[in-house]
Homo-oligomer: A and B are copies of this chain.
Amino acid sequence: MAASDRREHLLAAAREVFAERGYFGASVADIVARADVARGTFYNHFEGKREVFAAVLGVLMTNVLSAVAPIDVNADIAPQVRANLHGITRVLAEAGEAVRILFTDAGSVDAEGEAALAAFYAHALSRVEVALATGQTMGVVRVGETRQTARCLLGCLREPVMQARLAREPLDAAALADAIFDLLRCGVLTGEAGAASVPGAALPR
C-alpha cells in the first residue's frame, strides 16, 4: 500500500476511534486494531497519538470552513446566508459521530490543543463578526453588539448538533439550517421581515 494511502487509512481509523471513545478513551492500540496494522506502522506515519488527533481535527476544521462560501454583496444576502447555513449543517451531519472530536474533545486534550481550538474559533468568529458589521453598514443587519451575537450564532450551530448526538437521534441538517435561518431572519436581519424597533430600547429594564 502506498504511503499516503496508508496514512489516509490510519487517519480514517483514528477518526472512527476518536469519535467513538474520545481522545483519552482511545488508545493507539484501538486505532491500529481498527486499521488492522501493527503498532509500529502507526508510528511510521504519525509522530504519535497527539499528532494523529491533530491531523483528524485539521481535516474536520478544513471541511467546516470550506463549507462556507463568501458572501457576494451585490446579490441578495439572505439566500446566501441560508445556503451557507445549509452547507455547514450538511458537513456536520456528514461528519456524524466525528463532530464530537471537533466540538467536545478538541478543547480538552491539553493547553496546546486549547490554543489551537481558540485560534480556529477566533478565525471563524471574526469572519462572522465582519459579516455582521458589513451587514450593518449595508442595512441588512440590525445595529447592535456583534461579538456576543457572533458567538451566539456559533452556538446555534454547535449546540443542536451536539444535542442530536447526545440524544442519539439523526441530525436533520436541513431542518436545523432552517431553524437557525429563521432565528437569524427575524432576529438579525432587518427590512420587511425584521424588527421595527431598535433592540434593547423597547423594553424597560
Contact = CB atoms under 8 A, between A and B. Distances in A.
20 contacts: A79-B204, A118-B166, A148-B176, A148-B179, A148-B180, A151-B159, A152-B183, A155-B157, A156-B156, A158-B158, A158-B159, A182-B187, A182-B200, A183-B187, A186-B188, A186-B194, A192-B197, A192-B202, A193-B199, A196-B196
A123 B63 CA distance: 33
A121 B167 CA distance: 9
- Total copies of this chain within the assembly: 4
Nearest to A200: B182
A135 interface: no
A69 to B, nearest CB: 17
Interface of A: 22-25, 78-79, 82, 100, 104-105, 107-108, 110, 114, 117-118, 121-122, 125, 142, 144-145, 148-149, 151-152, 154-160, 162-164, 166-167, 175-176, 178-188, 192-197, 199-200, 202-205
A22 to B, nearest CB: 5
A102 to B, nearest CB: 12
A182 B141 CA distance: 13
Contacts of A182: 144, 149, 187, 199-200
A100 to B, nearest CB: 7
Contacts of A122: 167
A203 B78 contact: yes
A145 B175 contact: yes
Given A104-B108, A114-B166, A195-B195, A152 B155 contact: yes
